[in-house]
Amino acid sequence: MSYAYSIFSILTLVVLYFANKKLTSSYYPLHVFYGIMISALFVLFHMIVLNLHVIPILGIPVSEDDDFMYYGPLFYALLCVIVSMVAHGKDRK
């Protein structure tokens, strides 16, 4: 299960980058707010997996004994923040 979680998390990081790049490059404050909320939802998803040991959308329980699934969601949550910061950048036109 940890492989599938890792693959889907990495794929969603790519989606998060392009979504944030598009939304935060706009001058409309509401679009920037949506970009921030998308980032927060991705981080919230990983924090729920970390704390509850259940993948929320699918309802799949995660083993608490697996070290990767204990530290993996924390790592992916931090990656979501870093990707969002890089996507925001200074590309406003």
Query: What would the pLDDT profile of 16-64 be if each residue is shown by its tens digit?
Result: 999 999 998 888 999 999 999 999 999 999 999 999 999 888 888 888 8
Model pTM score: 0.87
The count of other CB atoms within 10 Å of the CB of residue 56 is 11
Residue corresponding to tokens 């040991």: 53
